[in-house]
Chains A and B, each alone.
Chain A
Amino acid sequence: MIIDLDKCVGCHACAIACRAEWEVPVGKDSADRERKRNFVKRLGPSNTPHGLSSTYYPALCNHCDKPACVDVCPADKVEVTFKDAKTGATKTMAVAATWKDPFNGTVQIDKERCLGCGACADACPYDARYVNEDGDEPKADKCTFCVERVAEGLEPACVQTCLARARIFGDLSDPNSEVAKYVKKGAARLESAKVKIGPNVRYYGNKKDMHLLTSTCTPQAMPQANLRRTIMARMMKPAMEQVKGLGLLGLAGAVVVKGLSEDEKE
């Protein structure tokens, strides 16, 4: 996805359309993390070497080339077969509860298997994930690039509602696509020396706005791995294994095991 800051007027429609589409609750999941899939940060007016600038940081999951969130997922891996929508080719991989699709490049979450530990959210340098605790169990949540809508022939919710057509969604691997043209024009990734994981949302704009955006919104360090959380996630497993082994279950146990047994089917 490309975000064209020359067009963006900072109306926040994208953030709200996403909230409506995916029932994203407001508020925080912890002291310092907002519950959101899609957000707009207002920048400036501030001085830049190119003049006074006021612009926006419309942000969502970057569906990175080397996502930091995937490897930290403590859920048991299961074999999943992925299919290329274009060619029909398939690939089978062992994945935890979150993975990067080998064909369409999106990073997705299996909510059934997600443990809700939040390790992935902690690992994201772009603050693009959160833990939704409004359901019956906490689950990690983030932008899916609206693959569900796209499969129905619809645009992502944020793209559809954008009055400025400032969000351009398409296939980067197709050199004739509008997104590829923007990349040729210089649409930039928000990357730094220490955060180089290949984010796939790129920003395009004039010099002063890009300066303000990149100087204030580029992550400068990868988040520290949260050992405690990973340890706790591991601690939880024996309890579940125990549940799984029993014939008769309490109601809550049934929920957990239903999720596990579905995984096994996969």
Chain B
Amino acid sequence: MALNLTRRKFLQTASLAAASAAMSGCFAKKADASAPFVRKPFTAPGSFAGTTTAVGGVCEMCFWRCQLVGKVRDGQLVKLEGNPKSIDNGQSICARGNAGVKLLYDPDRLKFPMKNVGKRGAPEWKRISWEEALDECASKLKAVVDKYGPQGIAIFPHGSSAKYPMTFFEHVVGTPNNSEASFFQCRGIRDTAYVATLDVAPGENVDMPNAKAIFLVGCHFGENVHVSHLKRYLKGLENGAKLIVVDPRFSASAAKADIWVKIKPGTDTAFLLAIMNYLVKEGKYDKKYVEEHGQGFDQFTKAIAHATPEWAAKICDIPAKQIKEVADMLAANAPSVSIHPGRHVSWHGNDFQRERSLACLTGLLGAIGVKGGFVAGKGPKSGKAGWPKPMAEHAEKYALHKLAKVHPYSPPGTPTDLIRNAAVTGKPYPIKGFVAWGQNPIQTIPDQALTIKMLQQMDFVLVCDVMPTDITMYADILLPESSYLERYDHIQKGTQWNFADPHQQFITARMPLVSPTAADHERKDSVWIVNELAKRMGYGEHIKVQSGEDMTDKILAGAEPPLSIEQLRKEDGIHVQPGVDPYGKALDVYFFSEDIAAAGFPGAPTYIPVPEPPKGFARLVYGRAPVHTFNRTMNNAWLHNEMPTNPVWLNDESAKKMGLKDGDSVMLVNQDGVKSRTSTVVKVTPGIRKDTVYMAHGYGTMNPLMTVGAGAGVDDQSLISKSAVDPETGAHGMRNNFVKFIKDGKELSIPA
């Protein structure tokens, strides 16, 4: 088979040579003869040859925001690399970062403002001018505000460029109905749980390079890739840190672990309580730290006294011995232990309690402000620029969770489910204007049918994005945005990645690496778009920045020492200055929180059981593919090529009983009868529990305009039709859905 194509090409070449010989002298190819013949070189010159280096790039293939340089030849970006001056990612960037070039030149990118002259969900696109697009967006959104009040608009933002529109709609227009995916479907629970426990949002601030033990609950580093974060993790392992990984699946991290805890999904809090109870009972905790900084410790120990290793062992389906082994390993290495707070934590609807447990465990081990523990680096100061807040109070007054007196630990914005329910029911007030900016709520939020119902009842739907996605199919007006390689819009700050190195801090601003303008498109950046909308909606007086560049310069001017874009360029894109020692800061630990108890929730961390899989079904767990950032990168030709589908992991013994082989094609159906739109292949492995199946998130987009990614793999979110809502935070839990397989039209039960 290998022969055929090559042979065809071969004969072509051979016959061409022969034909040329035969035709020589008569110049049969007139058309070619008139144009100068430029031969495409056989060998690519390499990114270093004949290129200039553009500085000031800040990646946004994901949201870790590595610092970049661009190699540019004849105005074309040929390659992205880590900025050699970076003290964060250095010259390294991940697969996605490297593939940014393919996003920039993706022929499927949105190019012009478009009007949907078909239906939402089944669009027919008509190209319109910016003038017409902006006039229509402004008048339709203004009409919603006039009829229903500012709260009648919902905004679903994601990414750097969405911050300016988000704050415009929240603070200037005055709607509280802002649903950030990064909070309500990702890390918001973690942030508010840590604030409630340690009075600080944790980020991923554990000092892994200098840890003696690293403890990961669900984090699957390697499949989840953030460059400097992984550098920290790997440095820790290189320095001999013990690694404990808690995961129902043998993840990339479990593969490097000293202890893999093959836990039953949903039961992590029981596991953590048992560890803490064991440490307390055995006296293996940091008594001094707890005495000095612990709040409500006695109530806490009483509340978790029932949580013996034997109790948890049954719930978590792991040996009691292993729970003790983990606890002993943590105690033996305390306080230099990195209890990782996690990142995507909206799993089961009982997640606030798990995150509280992680924060309490950190405190119990005294692993705060010390080498290897929970330590936040100190970045430099910078200024502020953007929208004033004339309507912030109005927004606050109409916040749905406040009106209903629910979810007091909600992250900023309004819990997604409340927005969607209000829109669908019209109660307590109608929501009739919808703005998605860089977010694809179809693949972000559980229950796609309900999300679509919400969209269908809107008076107006505006979507702005770089690429077509599922949500763009529901837009009335679709606006094309400049990519992160063509715009100013983000200030990135931080420290050197390893605190064992001399303390430094850096500040950089995203600057375009290539010109945003070209003959074949009319893309604009969000500052320009929103300012134009604001003027047309009657909010022009509040505009404080005239462009992305202006905003960036104003924020930089507030840095210490004051900086500018010009100065950053002179400094090769990144300003680096001496930093400060991050160690030594202790934090109070609210083991038992009176505030949480007063709000009607358990004051001490508590295990709340989650629904069990019905007979014949397995729990659907999802996670990251190293080459993708959710749905955002699915159309990238290079990334797609690395992992063109998302195989569904199935336990090998179960597969045998089901008669399935590795590589078999299957579809999935969930407990509500929702079937996957597409199929994927089975990955048969001993590395997963029998009650769990797993797939990478973000595949299976339904937008045919994504010519590379459409229909590739299965959309896990389509199978997550049952929402769980975390009661404290209002954030979603997305791992309480259960699936069977369909092979050759036949439903296959998954044996327990």
Across the interface, which residues of B come within 8 angstroms of A115, CB to CB?
A: 10, 13
Q: Are A11 and B222 in contact (CB under 8 A)?
A: yes
B465 within 8 A of A: no
Q: Given known contacts A9-B234, A163-B227, is B5 in contact with A30 (CB within 8 Å)?
A: yes
* A160 partner residues in chain B, CB cutoff 8 A: 81-82, 91-92
A interface footprint on B248-261 (CB within 8 Å = 1, 0 otherwise) = 00111011100010
Q: Which of B18-45 contact A (CB under 8 A)?
A: 18-21, 23-25, 27-29, 32-33, 37, 39-44
Q: Mark B607-639, 1 if CB is under 8 A from A, else 0.
A: 000000000000000000011000000000111
Q: Is the CB of B641 within 8 A of A229?
A: no
Q: How far is the CA of A32 from the CA of B32 in the complex (A)?
A: 35
Once the chains are docked, how many angstroms separate the CA of A247 from the CA of B291? 96
Query: Is A148 a contact partner of B46 (Cβ separation < 8 A)?
Result: yes
> Is the C-beta of A180 less than 8 angstroms from some C-beta in chain B?
no
Interface-central residue, A16, A118, A148, A239, by most chain B CB under 10 Å: A16
Query: Contact residue range for chain A?
Result: 35 or more
List of A residues within 8 angstroms of B237 by Cβ: 6
Least distance between B657 CB and chain A CB atoms (Å): 18
The 0/1 profile, CB within 8 Å of B marked 1, for residues 224-266 of chain A is 0010110011011001101100111111111110000000000
| Of A138, A209, A252, the contact of B20 (CB 8 Å cutoff) | A252
Chain B's closest residue to A162 (CB) is: B92
Is A26 a contact partner of B29 (Cβ separation < 8 A)? no
Min C-beta distance of A92 to chain B, whole Å: 23
* CB of A21 closer than 8 Å to a CB of B: yes
Cα-based distance from A148 to B3 in the complex (angstroms) = 31
Task: Let me know if B98 is at the binding interface, CB within 8 A.
Answer: yes
Residues of B within 8 A of A228 (CB): 3, 7
* Distance in angstroms between the alpha carbons of A44 and B37 in the assembled complex: 51
In the assembled complex, which residues on chain A have CB atoms less than 8 Å from the CB atom of B640? 26
User: What are the residues of chain B within 8 A of A11 when measuring CB–CB?
Assistant: 94-95, 222, 225, 230, 626-627
A30 contacts B2, C-beta separation under 8 Å: yes
Quick one: CB contact mask for B76-88 with A, threshold 8 Å, 1 for yes? 0011111000000
Contacts of A226 in B (CB 8 A): 2-3
Contact of A229 among B7, B48, B234 (CB under 8 A): B7
| Cross-chain contact of B14 among A15, A236, A255 (Cβ < 8 A) | A236
A30–B89 touching, CB < 8 Å: no
Give the complex CA separation of A100 and B41 in angstroms. 23
**Interfacial chain A residues near B41, Cβ < 8 Å:** 135
- The residue on B at minimum CB distance from A247 is B24
Contact B24 A253 (CB under 8 A): yes
Q: Is the CB of B1 within 8 A of A250?
A: no
Is A214 in contact with chain B by the CB < 8 A criterion? no
Q: Mark B632-667, 1 if CB is under 8 A from A, else 0.
A: 000001111111000000000000000000000000
Are B33 and A251 in contact, CB atoms less than 8 angstroms apart?
yes
> What residue of chain B has the Cβ atom nearest to residue A166's Cβ?
B234
A16 touches B99 (CB 8 A): yes
A22-B1 Cα distance, complex, nearest whole Å: 27
- Residues A137-157 near B (CB distance < 8 A): 137-139, 146, 148-149, 152, 154, 157
Task: Known contacts A135-B40, A250-B24; decide if A9 and B78 are in contact (CB<8 Å).
Answer: no
Residues A44 and B685 in contact, CB atoms below 8 Å apart:
yes
> In chain A between 1 and 57, which residues have their CB closer than 8 angstroms to a CB of chain B?
6-7, 9-13, 15-17, 19-24, 26-27, 29-33, 40, 44-47, 52-55
Interface centre among B11, B237, B626 (most CB of A within 10 A): B626
Interface readout for B373-389 with A: 1 if CB under 8 Å, 0 if not? 00000000000000000
Closest Cβ of chain A to B15, distance in Å, is 8
* CB of B449 closer than 8 Å to a CB of A: no
B24 and A112 form a contact (CB under 8 A): no
- Do A250 and B20 have beta carbons less than 8 Å apart? yes
Chain B CB within 8 A of A111 CB: yes
Q: Which of B9, B32, B33, B92 makes the CB contact (< 8 A) with A138?
A: B9
- The chain A residue with its CB closest to the CB of B256 is A6
Q: Which of B10, B46, B641 contacts A117 (CB 8 A)?
A: B10
Pair B44/A40 contact, Cβ less than 8 Å: no
- Nearest residue (CB) in A for B7 is A232
Q: Answer yes or no: A174 CB below 8 A from chain B CBs.
A: no
Please determine whether B13 and A138 come into contact, CB atoms closer than 8 angstroms: yes
CB of B101 closer than 8 Å to a CB of A: yes
Query: For the complex, what is the distance from the CA of A160 to the CA of B41, rounded to whole Å?
Result: 25
Interface contact A249-B9, CB-CB below 8 Å: no
Across-interface contacts of B637 in A (CB, < 8 A): 26
Q: Which of A55, A139, A229, A255 contacts B39 (CB 8 A)?
A: A255
A–B complex contacts, Cβ < 8 Å, 5 sampled? A19-B98, A31-B4, A138-B9, A250-B21, A253-B24
Query: CB within 8 Å of B: which residues of A?
Result: 6-7, 9-13, 15-17, 19-24, 26-27, 29-33, 40, 44-47, 52-55, 111-112, 114-118, 122, 131, 133, 135-139, 146, 148-149, 152, 154, 157, 160-164, 209, 226, 228-229, 232-233, 235-236, 239-240, 242-243, 246-256
Known contacts A17-B93, A161-B93, A250-B23; 7 further A-B pairs (Cβ under 8 A): A7-B238, A54-B687, A114-B42, A136-B39, A246-B24, A248-B24, A255-B39
The 9 closest A-B CB pairs, nearest first, are A45-B687, A250-B20, A253-B20, A9-B222, A111-B42, A31-B1, A16-B98, A23-B44, A54-B255
Q: What residues make up the interface of B, taking CB atoms closer than 8 Å to A? A: 1-7, 9-11, 13-21, 23-25, 27-29, 32-33, 37, 39-44, 46-49, 78-82, 89, 91-99, 101, 221-223, 225, 227, 230-231, 234, 237-238, 250-252, 254-256, 260, 626-627, 637-643, 685-688
